[in-house]
């Protein structure tokens, strides 16, 4: 559908912006590609600040505290693994 195509396009753009920020040194990643049963590239459902399940979002990487970066509109913001509800 039209809305699905918009979501896919937005996700591609978020991922590109994330990769550019990493390349420019604005976002620091660990070398670790997995942590606590989660891996870069996996899709997960998370609970947002209002305790509502949202997603799926792809895991793009982990910071030095092993919080994850997700492919969503706040790609620069990390989220703790405790907020992950399930893996898709």
Distances (CA, A) of 54 to 37, 64, 83: 20, 25, 11
With residue 4 as reference, give the H or E element that holds it: helix 2-23
Give the pLDDT band of residue 5 (cuts 50, 70, 90).
low
Contact between 52 and 85 under an 8 Å Cβ cutoff? The reply is: no
Per residue in 21-74, pLDDT (tens digit) is 999 999 999 888 988 899 999 999 999 889 999 989 999 999 999 999 999 888
How many residues would you count in the chain? 88
3-state helix, strand, coil in the chain (%, to 5): 30, 30, 40
Tell me if the pTM is above 0.95: no
């Amino acid at each position: 559908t039209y809305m699905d195509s918009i979501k896919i396009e937005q996700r591609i753009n978020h991922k590109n912006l994330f990769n550019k920020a990493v390349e420019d040194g604005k976002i620091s990643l660990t070398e670790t590609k997995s942590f606590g049963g989660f891996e870069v590239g996996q899709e997960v459902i998370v609970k947002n600040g209002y305790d509502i399940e949202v997603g799926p979002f792809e895991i793009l990487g982990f910071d030095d505290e092993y919080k994850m970066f997700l492919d969503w509109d706040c790609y620069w913001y990390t989220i703790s693994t405790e907020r992950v509800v399930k893996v898709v």
